[in-house]
Amino acid sequence: DAGVTQSPTHLIKTRGQHVTLRCSPISGHKSVSWYQQVLGQGPQFIFQYYEKEERGRGNFPDRFSARQFPNYSSELNVNALLLGDSALYLCASSGTWLEYFGPGTRLLVL
Amino acid sequence: AQSVSQHNHHVILSEAASLELGCNYSYGGTVNLFWYVQYPGQHLQLLLKYFSGDPLVKGIKGFEAEFIKSKFSFNLRKPSVQWSDTAEYFCAVKKTGGSYIPTFGRGTSLIVHP
């Protein structure tokens, strides 16, 4: 079975730009979560979506937004990028309480 | 707000040594507890979890963890580490009920020398 897939794998942007990251969950999973992992830190929760509705939101500014599509895939959008947004962005899907993580998208903001 | 503390940021052991990684959390309600591992170049993956019942839980690859509610702790243990256990280990906590907001610790980097 295919695991969680994320695209792109790497991305370089400049300050002020906008970025869209994509995630496809494991087949049959209806929940997708997004995390930001800065180098040397643990993942920090950004959003969770279940059945296309936001189920949880972490402590991130409004520049961060997400949505989930009818096929349960998800997008994370970040506007007005800052240098501090440089990180590994992880997507996780779950069918119940267990989360399965994707490989992440590494974003570098210059 | 809940928080998770992993006291050991870097641990270096020789093969066959015993391992214990500390994890403490700050939330007083009912929680679900997890340990994740990230091997070099690989995805974050679940090692073990505690939801309820027996506070001593066993995970993959010989790892186990003990939930001590009175100490708000969920320490990870392995009696004899191998070189292949070299990885980053993360403790995570989720409140049961209410909004879904999981919290991860900052991680412990484990290096096992052959």
How confident is the model over A22-61, as pLDDT tens digits?
A: 999 999 999 999 999 998 899 999 999 999 999 989 999 9
Cα B2 to Cα A69, A82, B28, B31, B109: the distances in Å are 30, 27, 9, 10, 23
- Do the Cβ atoms of A33 and B102 come within 8 Å? yes
Q: In this complex, is the C-beta atom of B111 within 8 Å of any C-beta atom belonging to chain A?
A: no
Q: What are B72's two structure tokens?
A: 């708000």
Backbone torsions φ then ψ of B84, nearest 5 degrees: -70, -5
Q: Which pLDDT belongs to residue A1?
A: 59
How confident is the model over B32-45, as pLDDT tens digits?
A: 999 999 999 899 99
Q: Which pLDDT belongs to residue B105?
A: 96
- Helix locations, chain A, DSSP H: none
Give the separation between CA B56 and CA B54, rounded to whole angstroms: 5
Q: What are A109's two structure tokens?
A: 């903001």
- A44–chain B nearest CA distance, Å: 7
How confident is the model over A51-103, as pLDDT tens digits?
A: 999 998 999 999 999 999 999 999 999 999 999 999 999 999 998 778 899 99
Q: What are A44's two structure tokens?
A: 């920090």
Residues in B closer than 8 angstroms to A33, CB to CB, are 100, 102
Q: What are B89's two structure tokens?
A: 């280990």
Q: How high is the mean pLDDT of chain B?
A: 93
Residues in B closer than 8 angstroms to A102, CB to CB, are 43
